[in-house]
Amino acid sequence: MINFIKNFFIKYTFLKKIRNFFSIIIESTKNHGFVKFIARTLSPTIDFFRYILKYLLNPIINFFKTRISKPIAVKVFSYAVLVGLILFTAFIPSLYKATNNVKNVNQNNLMREFGNNDPTIDQILKRSFFKEESRKLSIDYQQVLNLMNLFEKSGYNLDRVRDGGPVSNFFLAKFPEGITELDNLEQRKRIFIQILLPVILSENEKIRTDRRKLTSIMNLKSYDKESLWLKEQFDRYKVKDNNYKELLKRMDVIPPSLALAQAAYESAWGTSRFAVEGNALFGQWTWKENTGIVPERRPENEKYEVSKFNHIRSAVTAYKNNLNSHPFYEDFRKERAKARMLNPFGSISGYRLVDHLGRYSIRGQDYVVGLKKVIEQNSLHDFDKSILTPKRSSSI
């Protein structure tokens, strides 16, 4: 019997299998929590027990059959199962408690580190949410909850924003994968808006600054000192013949309600494959091969791809440049200019402009109807007058 066991361990490296199996369990439990470790270790668990049944139990059973009577074998097996269950049951509470402690410590450290300051989300992600062995942002369910708690702790609450409160300066570089794990649709919508709204407002503030500068330049007798800046703007907005009035018409903000509605509609509130893999929130296409994400159901004769971006801000910038320069949206810009004449320095209703975006999607008028529903059902018009919190010098 001793020789049999010795040869068995040498031949099949049983101890190595045990060590690898439990290291996978411990690592997975530590990284993902006890609830998820079962799903994430299902495959190695099955492989391990398949190995046990094939190379350990069968030889032992055959040995018992030839050396020990059946009643004694059954009794030994029953005791073995009982002892295994006792050990497993004793192991579970300790493991669960340990993983919960790890989560609580991580979350408390995160809150303690930033306090009541308004850090950028980029800094938080670099310190807490990036895995050293991965280049891709990995935020699971627990980390999304931490992000939501951080918003709340910092006073960034959408109810307050709807009542006229400022929007905190949180800027997220990548869209979190963990948002897809939020079962509560309202939670998913809320964090989607909280992540995207500051970027939209920040980009609109840049446009307002440029618009004020352009208006000031147009009141001058000579534009020579600003010729380089003006050339950049004419190129960005694709304005020909140095038409200053046309440039001023194109150089205007995108109402937050409209931007939020289109992003929500195109990305399924940030849960689509394109949003998670490439920050593709607005469904923009590119015909440059191997620069975007190829849709799974793209017809064989088509060459388009969905544009991808390294940062959410890049996606928002490309989106607003598209609406402010593409010929398809000339009617959109004309209607916005009419609204601007009535309200030179105030906000513009996104709902009012939706009717002129039928060419944004192949769905045409159905797309327009869909956007209106998104705005109405989620009261996105509340955010058209939102402003960013003035930046503090003490911010991280």
Integer Cα distance of 332 and 245 in angstroms: 16
Largest CA distance in the chain: 110
CB contact set of 267 (below 8 Å; sequence gap of 6+): 274, 275, 280, 281, 282, 283
> Rg of the chain's alpha carbons, rounded to an integer?
30
Q: Residue 233 pLDDT more than 90?
A: yes
pLDDT digits (tens, 9 = 90+) for 83-122: 666 666 655 555 555 544 444 444 444 344 333 343 444 4
> 0.85 cut: is pTM over it?
no
Lowest mean pLDDT among 2-6, 278-282, 362-366: 2-6
Predicted local distance difference test score (pLDDT) of residue 261: 96
Q: Write down the pLDDT at residue 306.
A: 85
Phi and psi for 147 in degrees, rounded to 5?
-65, -40
More confident residue, 374 or 103: 374
Q: What's the rounded Cα separation, in Å, for the pair 77 and 132? A: 45
User: C-alpha dihedral over 372, 265, 191, 284, to 10 degrees?
Assistant: -130
Question: What share of the chain has pLDDT > 70, as a percent?
Answer: 63
Enumerate residues 6+ apart whose C-beta is below 8 A from 271.
179, 180, 188
Distance between CA atoms of 171 and 121, rounded to whole angstroms?
5
Q: What is the pLDDT of residue 224?
A: 82
Average pLDDT of the chain to the nearest whole number: 76
Q: For residues 293-309, give the mean pLDDT.
A: 81
CA distance 258 to 210: 21
Q: Which two tokens stand for residue 90?
A: 């004793």
Domain boundaries, the chain: 2-106, 152-383
Q: Which of 283, 285, 307, 297 is CA-nearest to residue 370?
A: 283
Tell me how far apart the alpha carbons of residues 83 and 77 are, in angstroms, rounded to a whole number.
10
The angle that helices 312-325 and 185-218 make with each other, rounded to 10 degrees, is 50
38 contacts 96 by C-beta, under 8 angstroms: no
CB 343, CB 333: distance < 8 Å = no
More confident residue, 119 or 167: 167
Predicted confidence (pLDDT) per residue in 168-203, tens digit:
988 888 877 777 777 788 888 999 999 999 999 999
Fold of 152-383: Lysozyme (1.10.530)
Query: Residue 369 CA to chain centroid, in angstroms?
Result: 26
- Residue 132 pLDDT > 90: no
Residue 359 has pLDDT above 50, yes or no: yes
